[in-house]
Amino acid sequence: MAGGNFLCNLRRMAFAIGALGLTIGGPGTADAGQSVTASLAPMLSRVIPTVVTISVRGKSNDEQDDTLYLTPGAQNKSSPSQTAVGQISETAGTGVITDARNGYILTNNHVIEGATSIKVTIASGESYDAVAVGADAQTDLAVIRIRAAGLSQAVLGDSGSLNVGDYVVAIGTPYGLGKSATFGIVSALDRSGLGLDLEEGFIQTDASLNPGNSGGALVDLEGKVVGINTAILGPSGANIGIGFAVPINTASAIMRQLVAHGEIRRGQLGVQVQDSSADFARALGVGASTGALVNEVRPRSPGAEAGIVVGDVITAVDGVPVSGSTQLRARISALPPETVVKLTLLRRSGSVQVVATLAAAVTEPPVEAVDYVDGKGLLDLVTLQTLDAASDAFGKVQGALISSISDNSPAAAAGLQPGDVITSVNQTNATTPQMVVELSKASTDLLLLGIFRDGRRSFLVVKR
């Protein structure tokens, strides 16, 4: 089995390199009986000098390690520490030189977090003391700096152009073994819902990642950095071919802010979004089932001033497509306040473009009171109640509280639950139970509800 996997990987590597028109074999390989050798060595010889080893000293804790592990059935955690809590520990990670002239190195926040000293070893074997320029826990990225001459600088690619199936190479220092490269493909894009307390939207790859790879480069076959390796999914931290990297487009925007300010100043659009779907596209009358569906627009926010309305589907930022809510949030939060963005929206009337200037803060929506009644039609077997102080939603939204619902109702099948607050019906705001019932009467086959649950707004489609 192992031999078969090796041959399979060798064949796909040879195919990939041949497809790119790169050198395959040496002189005289045209003879049919002569073996052909595919190699990534020419590309790696350029890229490896841009990757550094980072050694960190600091106080140990219960979860001291350089690598984030995602263990099935458990939340984000690190592997067990081998150092007693409170003692000095040493860990090693990886970084990527992004500015050779100024000595800036991009890595993971969890690699340097809590460090009392940071040492960087470059390709020549020379070591330098490093200082932290800035770090961002939300994206798990950090920038450190060394003073050194003759550094090699990485070429950054475009993670937005990646496709599932593209070949990639992960470069790092696993288990302190020095520079290592592993080969694989992009397994998935915009991966979220991993249980990490981070801004997600990761690149997933089967290129082997191990302890020590954190902060290293994920590169394409041209040697351009497309991601910063960050986390591993596996039992007890073991590698099973599922690793995650922060897209370089996100990392680049974060890095620019860390270098300029030492911290992240996040812009806000003032809208709340969720993933769109085929059902939502049908209910909204739009021509695409992907994108970020707007379910709330805060008054006087940049989104409101730009003309965004509830029910719009945001499909691109500055001409770059967004596939869903996670990608949109990552794209916007990586930009500083006062950034002007051009958004592409889908509405029933067609595609439109609006321009918004991101803000640092937004104003919360006003609060109003509501009333009570029973559901009809697609809301049959649903009891609507006045929103009162007993509800967690009181003082946050206006709408009709679901006090009870039959398991046999279409609304229950759609996912409506007791405690939910219906705030809109078919994109029309509903401030009372009576309004919900009246607005829903006209819909016999499909009903689009805006709901508020657990502090967040979202849409539900109720079908006959």
39 among known catalytic residues: no
d(CA 53, CA 25): 31
Two tokens, residue 453: 């649950």
How many Cα atoms within 13 Å fall on the side-chain side of residue 228?
35
140 is catalytic: yes
Instruction: Give the whole-angstrom CA distance, residue 361 versus residue 359.
Output: 6
Catalytic, out of 60, 65, 66, 110: 110
Tokens 């697609």 sit at which residue? 378
CA neighbor of 331 nearest in space, from 253, 264, 217, 261: 253
Query: What φ, ψ does residue 236 adopt, rounded to 5°?
Result: 55, 30
Our answer to whether residue 65 is catalytic in this structure is no
Strand partners, 145: 104, 131
Torsion of CA 136, 140, 143, 146, to 10 degrees: 130
Q: Which residue has the tokens 């939204």?
A: 397
Catalytic residue chosen out of the listed positions 180, 214, 333, 443: 214
Catalytic pick from 140, 220, 275, 420?
A: 140
Tell me the catalytic residues.
110, 140, 214
